Amino acid sequence: MLTSFFSLSIILICFSFLKLVRSDDLFIGCGDELTFIEATFQTPHKGDCYKMCKNNLYTYYTYKQDQNECDCYIYPPPAAEYMPGGPEECNGQLQYNIVKSNWKFQKCYNSPNMTETPSDSFKACMDGCAPHEVAIARPTGDYPGQTNCICASKNQLNHMVEAVCGLDQYYAYTHTPTPVPSGKRVGRSLIIAQRQAFSPRGPYGDKKYALLFREG
C-alpha cells in the first residue's frame, strides 16, 4: 500500500513538472500575411482564440485584435512575409504563434556565424533540434516557406548580439533537450528522423510549388 502511494506521488510530481516546463502559445514572429487559413471565427478575447485552435488540433493561430478575428491554421506562416516586432509588440502586424510547444522564446540576434540548415518552418527547426538546448530559426526570402535553422547550446548564445526580430534575423528558442537513444541503428534512425523534421511535407517544402506560389 505504501509502495503504491509513493509510486502515485512520483507520477503526479513528474506530471506537474511536465506541465511547468511546457511553453504552449509560442511566439514565432510578426508578419503582414497569412496564406493557408483553415478556420476563422469571431471572439473579443485572444485566450479564447488560442483555446479554440488548440481544442481543434490546429498547429498555429493568429489573433487580429482590431477585428476580433481568430485564424487557426496547419501550415506555417510564409517566412518571406516576416516584419519587425516581438511578442505582443507587432506594431499593427499579425502575430504568428505555435499552439503547442515545449520550447521558450528568448530573443532575436544578428548573424551568429554558425552553420545554417535549410528548413521548412520554425516548428520544423525546433523538431530537428530536439536533442539540443537551443534552436535558432531565421525566416528568409529565398522562397515563401524557407526558414534556415541552427541547433546550438546555451553557451553559444553568450557570444551573439541582440537584434530586433524580423526577416533574416535569428530567433532563439530554448528547451530541455530530448534524450538521445544509444546504439548505431537507433542513431541512424534518429538522423533520418531529424532530416525529415527539418523538411516535413507541406506547401513550402516543395520548391516547385514555391516557385508557382511566388509567380502567382
Question: Does 40 or 178 have the greater pLDDT score?
Answer: 40
pLDDT score, position 178: 78
Rg (CA), the chain: 19
Q: How many CB atoms lie within 10 A of CB 13?
A: 10
Sign, Cα dihedral of 202, 76, 127, 25: negative
Helix residue ranges per DSSP H, the chain: 2-21, 46-55, 122-128, 154-157, 184-198, 207-215
Return the bridge partners of 152, or none: 134
- 44-93: pLDDT as tens digits: 999 999 999 999 999 999 999 999 999 999 999 999 899 999 999 999 99
Question: How many other C-beta atoms lie within 10 A of the C-beta of residue 144?
Answer: 21
Q: What is the pLDDT of residue 142?
A: 80
